[in-house]
Amino acid sequence: MFYQEDYEKDFEASGKVSIWACKFDSEKALKAYMKEKQTRDDDIYSDFYLEFRMGFLDYDLIDFIIHEDQPSSLEELFAQVSYSKTIVENIKKSSLTLDINKYNSVICVFDYDFIPDTDYVRKNKNVDYIGSFDYDQNSEKI
């Protein structure tokens, strides 16, 4: 379940946010995916951490939200995320084209510049890593 090399990865990066766009059936399903659990050896994990082969993350630096209604814009998709204005601006500046109709949820890990493994095989087809983006830590939080 746990790989020592996963815990040795250091993706910490001030001013970066790593983002996953998702489609979940319910808030309960998203919370279950993100829920932290603990092994007998005191290792902390969640389905999210395991899926992307990450070690422990500071839960205080993670925002995850789901919308009851289908968002119609990036602004709506990120509306409840910290630093949403600066994040949306930087996503729009990038060459990323995001099909907003595929997603109703986002997971944002702040001060983290995730780099996916080249041998990564997705298990949850409804969770897409879309990239790491700059965010302005001095901008309005929401």
> Is residue 39 a part of any domain in this protein?
no
DSSP states of 12-43: EEEEEEEEEEE--S-HHHHHHHH--EE-TT--
Domain-embedded: residue 35 = no
Q: Answer for the pair 53, 117: CB distance below 8 angstroms, yes or no.
A: yes
* pLDDT band at residue 136 using 50, 70 and 90 as cut-offs: confident
pLDDT score at 95: 83
Reading the block at residue 51, the tokens are: 């899926």
Can you tell me the distance from the alpha carbon of 14 to that of 61, in angstroms, rounded to the nearest whole number? 11
Please tell me the pTM assigned to this model.
0.88
CA distance linking residue 139 with residue 110, whole number of Å: 14
Residue numbers of the domain that contains 105: 9-26+58-134
Instruction: Give me the phi and psi of 8, to 5 degrees please.
Output: -85, -10
In a domain, 46, yes or no: no
**Is 15 a domain residue?**
yes
Residue 1 covered by a domain: no
- Predicted pLDDT at 4: 47
Number of domains in the chain: 1
Taking only the tens place, the pLDDT of each residue in 4-17 is 455 446 688 899 99
- Asked if residue 117 is part of any domain, the answer here is yes
Distance CA 75, CA 98 (A): 12
Among the residues of the chain, which ranges form H helices?
4-8, 27-34, 47-51, 74-77, 84-93
- In a domain, residue 142? The reply is no
Write the pLDDT tens digit of every residue in 68-115: 999 999 999 999 999 999 999 999 999 888 899 999 999 999 999 998
